[in-house]
């Protein structure tokens, strides 16, 4: 998947040290020390954004651990292995398929907010 | 405090190995031999072991050789500097590689020992967190020296593997003895004992399929196992779990312990590591296996396991069966055995794993459900998988670079090559050989 440069630049404004990686035909965006919603503990984590359809979801956000102090969610992807690292993701379906990277990230963070 | 040097497992994709051999065999206008460089990725484990995967081969231009008759090949300092720059830029280690054009295990010559350690140290100093050193290839074996922080200590990998069909292995400390055990299987090759002693097989899922597989591998004489299953035996498993007893149900025995008992009854000295976890919860034990066999129901589990095996250059063999029934028709048993070889077509290329299947499964929250299972199809599929594994390590059929996707019709009892293979190219667009090892961000 070819990611649009302007959307990457837009994302870099909130995560300057992002990097892109591919595995299994999927493109992932890794964001180091990403600032999670205020209620989350810890406040920052390395996160992995999958900006394409996989496993029935249009987009997904993977976290290395399930944050504390968040609403109850269905973490149906637990300890999944991607790029040689272990990740978790909650079930949060976004039906729109025309979102910019920054918009998908914002919607994927929504369930973590209190 | 004196620290123990790490143990290394080195894996080289067959296509990159061939590229190196072809290049190193080319005559040079004046040098007696050629030199090249491998880029490496290293994954460090908690137990001190490191997995080194070769990700790329870099040929050295003719102009980078210096005309000096005192050595087979003298190369410019510029070429070393370029390697060091590449280490810094790509975050990949570097190995100096050359060929000793004979059979058998090569060893460093006097000239090699007086010059190559300093080259390896330069590479190491460019980024000490990576893995650098030098490698000597022969016609059928390898020698590697890995640079350690202590310059007086060089480390030879515990095992070096060429990952292709068939595979090649070099184990540092295996001294296999001839045994009557193998009298009826000598056609598998003169190195059989050595291979069976050294190869480490990982099996994920110790149910109907996995239990058949470990029984057969033990009979053949495979000595090293890592077994993953977090489940206990239940009465409904007794219809197919080989080695499972009625008393195990009452005792709620773990499936991995039943498997260990079965292996040890056949091979008392086998090294069996039973892991009562999903493999995702202990991936490092899996990564140290030479070959992995998956006996799982869910497509999402298969997809993850294949990706992990690709990343750590382990051939992956998948088996599975299902029973379908259409209204008014007899039940139909179907199954498959697939070899997913790093560098060749993956299960997506073969259209065995599709987004439709994964999405359907995700809709059921990843639960494959209690599918019908019986013992004899598992036996057929497990036997086919064991046949592929033994050919992979011994090369006894003399087939090379073959794709394996077998389909089983349980109603007619026939196993054939899947028709999709006729339309599948022996290449993969989903996993890249340059992207192996734990991804460093």
Sign of CA dihedral B177, B47, B255, B409: negative
Q: How far apart are CA B176 and CA B41, in angstroms?
A: 31
In B, which residues are within 8 Å of A85 by CB distance? 438-439
Are A53 and B355 in contact (CB < 8 Å)? yes
Q: E strands within B247-403?
A: 271-275, 291-294, 316-324, 332-340
Q: Write out pLDDT tens, residues B59-72.
A: 999 999 999 988 88
- What is the structure's pLDDT at A71? 96
Q: CB contact, 8 Å: B179 with chain A?
A: no
Provide the pLDDT for residue B349.
96
Q: Which of B213, B267, B206 is nearest to B231 (CA)?
A: B206
Closest CA of chain A from B307, distance in Å: 7
CA angle B227, B230, B232 (to 5 degrees): 105
Return the pLDDT at B434.
Answer: 92
* Residue B366 pLDDT > 60: no
pLDDT confidence tier of residue B281, bands split at 50, 70 and 90 = very high
Asked if B438 lies within 8 A of A82 by C-beta distance, the reply is no
pLDDT confidence band for B173 (50 / 70 / 90)? confident
Query: Residues of A with CB below 8 A from B350's CB?
Result: none
Chain B, nearest residue to A56 by Cα: B359
- Looking at the complex, does the CB of residue B202 fall below 8 Å from at least one CB of chain A? no
What confidence score (pLDDT) does residue B71 get?
A: 86
Please give the backbone phi and psi of residue A107, each rounded to the nearest 5 degrees, phi first. -70, -35
| Contact call for A54 and B355, based on CB within 8 A | yes
pLDDT at residue B9, rounded to an integer = 97
Residue B39 has pLDDT above 90, yes or no: yes
What pLDDT, on a 0 to 100 scale, did the predictor assign at position B38? 98
B237: pLDDT strictly greater than 60: yes
The predicted complex's ipTM stands at: 0.93
Nearest-CA residue of chain B relative to A90?
Answer: B365
B366, B298 in Cβ contact below 8 A? yes
Q: How many CB atoms lie within 10 A of CB B36?
A: 20
At residue B304, the pLDDT reads: 96
Chain B residues touching A19 at Cβ < 8 A: 441
Q: What is the mean pLDDT of residues B107-122?
A: 94
Chain B CB contacts of A20 under 8 Å are none
Take residue B215 and report the two structure tokens written for it: 């029984």
Query: Which residues 6+ apart lie within 8 Å of B185 measured at CB?
Result: B192, B220
pLDDT (average), residues B271-299? 97
Predicted pLDDT of residue B218: 98
What is the pLDDT at residue A3? Answer: 75
Q: Name chain B contacts of A32, Cβ cutoff 8 Å.
A: 441
CA dist B273 and B436 (Å) reads: 25
Query: What is the spatial distance between Cα B251 and Cα B143, in angstroms, rounded to a whole number?
Result: 49
Average pLDDT, chain B: 94
Q: Is pLDDT above 70 for B367? A: no
Whether residue B304 and residue A80 make contact (CB cut-off 8 A), yes or no, is yes
Dihedral of CA atoms B99, B115, B78, B102 in degrees, nearest 10, equals -10
Low-confidence ranges of chain A (pLDDT < 70): 1
pLDDT average, residue stretch B223-230: 98
Cβ contact, residue pair A76, B362, below 8 Å? yes
Q: Which residues of B81-112 are buried (b: 16+ CB within 10 A; e: fewer)?
A: ebbbebbeebebbbbbbbbbeeeeebebeeeb
Chain B: nearest CA to A102, how far in angstroms? 20
Of B283, B363, B431, nearest to A24 by CB-CB distance is B431
For chains A and B, count residue pairs whose Cβ atoms are closer than 8 Å.
70
Share of chain B above pLDDT 90, in %: 86
**Which pLDDT does position A91 carry in this prediction?**
94
Rg (C-alpha) for chain B, rounded Å, is 23
Mean predicted confidence (pLDDT) in B38-44: 96
Q: Which of B382, B176, B185 is nearest to B269 (CA)?
A: B176
Residue corresponding to tokens 């040929």: B59
Quote the pLDDT of residue B365: 60
By mean pLDDT, which of B231-245, B315-329, B353-367, B425-439 is the weakest? B353-367
Packing angle, helices B355-363 and B299-311, rounded to 10: 130
* Confidence category of residue B178, pLDDT binned at 50, 70, 90: confident
From the list A24, A32, A82, which residue is nearest B430 (CB)? A24
- Asked if B44 contacts B21 with a C-beta cutoff of 8 angstroms, the reply is no
pLDDT of residue B364: 73
Q: Tell me the mean pLDDT in the region B294-319.
A: 96
Q: Which residues contact B424 (CB under 8 A, 6 or more apart)?
A: B345, B349, B350, B351, B403, B405
Q: Hey, are the CB atoms on B308 and A84 less than 8 Å from each other?
A: yes
Distance from CA of A54 to the nearest CA of B (A): 7
> Residue B369 above 60 pLDDT?
no
Kindly state whether B365 is in contact with chain A, defined as any CB-CB distance less than 8 angstroms. yes
Alpha carbon distances (Å) from B37 to B54, B109, B111, B311:
10, 19, 18, 21
Among B70-74, B186-190, B217-221, B231-235, whose mean pLDDT is lowest?
A: B70-74
Res B1 pLDDT > 60: no
Q: Return the sign of the alpha-carbon dihedral for residues B420, B424, B426, B432.
A: negative
């Amino acid at each position: 998947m070819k990611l649009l440069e302007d959307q990457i630049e837009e994302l870099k404004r909130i995560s300057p040290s992002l990097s892109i990686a591919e595995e299994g035909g999927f493109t992932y965006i890794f964001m180091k020390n990403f600032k999670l919603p205020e209620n989350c503990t810890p406040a920052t984590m390395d996160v992995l954004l999958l900006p394409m359809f996989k496993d029935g979801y249009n987009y997904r956000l993977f976290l290395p651990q399930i944050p504390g102090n968040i609403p109850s969610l269905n973490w149906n992807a637990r300890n999944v292995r991607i790029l040689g690292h272990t990740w978790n993701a909650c079930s949060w379906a976004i039906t729109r398929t025309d979102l910019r990277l920054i918009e998908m990230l914002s919607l994927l963070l929504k369930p973590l907010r209190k | 405090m004196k620290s123990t040097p790490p143990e290394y497992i080195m894996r080289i994709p067959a296509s990159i190995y061939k590229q190196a051999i072809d290049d190193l065999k080319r005559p040079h206008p004046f040098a007696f031999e050629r030199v090249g460089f491998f880029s490496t990725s290293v994954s460090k484990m908690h137990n001190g072991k490191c997995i080194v995967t070769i990700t790329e081969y870099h040929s050295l231009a003719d102009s980078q050789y210096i005309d000096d008759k005192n050595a087979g090949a003298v190369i410019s300092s510029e070429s070393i500097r370029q390697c060091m720059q590449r280490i810094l830029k790509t975050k990949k280690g570097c190995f100096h590689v050359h060929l000793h054009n004979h059979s058998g295990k090569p060893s460093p010559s006097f000239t090699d020992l007086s010059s190559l350690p300093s080259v390896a140290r330069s590479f190491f100093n460019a980024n000490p967190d990576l893995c650098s050193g030098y490698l000597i290839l022969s016609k059928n074996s390898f020698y590697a020296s890995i640079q350690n922080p202590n310059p007086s200590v060089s480390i030879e990998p515990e095992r070096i593997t060429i990952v292709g069909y068939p595979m090649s292995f070099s184990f540092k400390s295996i001294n296999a003895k001839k045994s009557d055990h193998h009298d009826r299987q000598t056609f598998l090759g003169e190195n059989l004992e050595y291979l069976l002693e050294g190869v480490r097989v990982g099996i994920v899922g110790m149910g109907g399929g996995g239990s058949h597989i470990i029984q057969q591998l033990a009979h053949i004489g495979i000595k090293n196992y890592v077994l993953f299953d977090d489940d206990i035996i239940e009465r409904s498993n007794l219809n197919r779990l080989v080695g499972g007893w009625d008393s195990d149900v009452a005792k709620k025995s773990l499936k991995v312990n039943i498997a260990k008992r079965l292996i040890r009854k056949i091979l008392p000295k086998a090294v069996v590591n039973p892991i009562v976890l999903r493999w995702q919860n202990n991936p490092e034990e899996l990564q140290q296996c030479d070959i992995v066999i998956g006996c799982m129901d869910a497509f999402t589990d298969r997809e993850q396991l294949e990706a992990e095996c690709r990343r750590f250059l382990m051939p992956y063999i998948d088996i599975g069966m299902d029973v379908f029934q259409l209204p008014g028709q007899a039940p139909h048993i179907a199954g498959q055995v697939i070899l997913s070889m790093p560098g060749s077509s993956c299960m997506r290329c073969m259209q065995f794993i599709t987004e439709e299947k994964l999405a359907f499964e995700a809709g059921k929250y990843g639960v494959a459900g209690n599918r019908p299972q019986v013992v004899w199809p598992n036996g057929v599929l497990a036997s086919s998988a064991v046949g592929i594994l033994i050919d992979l390590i011994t090369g006894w059929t003399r087939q090379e670079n073959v794709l394996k996707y077998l389909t089983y019709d349980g109603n007619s009892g026939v196993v054939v090559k899947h028709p999709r293979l006729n339309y599948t190219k022996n290449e993969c667009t989903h996993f890249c050989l340059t992207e192996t090892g734990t991804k460093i961000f």
